[in-house]
Structure 1
Amino acid sequence: MRAVPATLDPAVVAEIDARLSGVEATQAVHVPWAIESGSRAWGFPSPDSDYDCRFLYVRPAAHYLSLWAGRDVIETPLDEVFDVNGWDLAKAVRLLVKGNVTPVEWLRSPIVYRGDPGFRDRVLALADEVLDRAAVRRHYLHLARRQQQRTPSLKRFLYVLRPAVALRWLADHSEAAAPPMDLPTLVAESSVPADVRAAVTEVVALKSVTRELGAGDPPAVLERFVDAELDRATTQDRLARDRDLVAVRARADELFLAEVSSVRVAA
């Protein structure tokens, strides 16, 4: 599958496609999923936002049998426009078991450069089974707190706002393991008040036409919302759910081994 909006620069997209093909050819891997992350996929890009392509890859089975398997990350040259790198599926699955929601966000990105829907659905099904919601809440809480510690700006505030709305979404959807990736969907699918919705729309619209969103103060209604959501998440029970870790790891192994066994890499 492919879902690349017309708003993306075609020349940049072509270079990303070339890099992904180059990774497969030079690293002898299969890339079943490659998406856009960062502000473009989060729903609040600026005119000068760079491109943050992230991908998951799988190596042939023999690679995983070696005592010296090497790194589980592949990176391509970083510059002002391109930030293209990916994780080995083994790394992604281990992180899922630990409660890291980043692989789920990648699998749910609204911008897909290349993707096998079957692969996506299988890994998301695993995430639904093994993700610990308490750990997911902590992930978004810590993400927001880390961003709050950096130099304040309206741009930085959006990086705090998205995880804050994700926390509200999780509170509204008790049956779900992890929230959507992009801010507009999070807002639309959660119980945020109407004045918060309006303020989010206004700030996102401003960022879309401003190359450097200034250091001014964010709308007070959004600051109050963020503070309330982070405070609520801080006071919630942080204990992980009672999980059978042996069964969880067995299920993760099952998914991983099935994906690796199906890999065919061109010589």
Structure 2
Amino acid sequence: MDQKLITLDLDGTTLNANNQLSEHTISTIQKVSNAGNIVSIVTGRPYRMAEDIYDQLQLKTPMANFNGALTHIPHQKWAGEYRRSINKAVVYDLLKNKDKFHIKLLAVENKESYLADHPAPAFFDFFPQQLESDQILTEKSLKTNPTSITILVEPKYENIVKNQLLHYYGEFIEIGVWGGPNSVLEIVSKGIQKAKAVAYIAKFYNIDRKDIIAFGDEHNDAEMLDFVGNGVAMKNATPTIKSIANDITEYSNHEDGVAKYLDQYFKL
């Protein structure tokens, strides 16, 4: 069997309903890696929320964060590392117009840094609920162009705000909307999507598209599943993702769907 590249979305896919890796998942992914295949995490999560998972899986391969705006090999200097950023002038503009855009929380991130206009509310544990003084987002504290901007808005304004942002900044940005109970808009540089990160990693390892297996469950996985030779939707994926995929796992993310699929595929 040719060497495969396996790209893994995290939330709703490789992680269970408690946002954790099961022992079965860890052991299967290590077996697949040890057999000479390349396993890469390709996630919307920032690096700060994916590093532990990468380390638990004992990976040494590139990882893509922020839906592909950052592709890097953790814990080492890699000549292939790349980052696509957003002009900080967009953030300055959003800071001035928080009321106009109904912004409840405005956060910006890079690989190693996180800034927010205030601590996150208790119900929103994706972001720090306590900030150091140097993590408060102001025009002065934001010194470099960020890799991602995340905005928490009131649910009833989600679509209005998304359309307003595209109207003002559409030539510079892409906007993703999170599923789930919170209305969150995730902004990255124009043209960023997971498929581009996957193509970049595949080229680095000289792996053909037909030899890529990608797992996903949500709208931000669509281009990735469509691009690869074997796009696999989770049993718990959205109907749209299932319609794009070449295959669907027999089990959900909470039932080790990725691990069981790989066990069968590689006859482990």
What TM-score comes out, normalization by structure 2 length? 0.27
Q: Which has the higher helix share?
A: 1
Higher relative contact order (Cα pairs below 8 Å, separated by 6+ residues): 1
What TM-score comes out, normalization by structure 1 length? 0.27
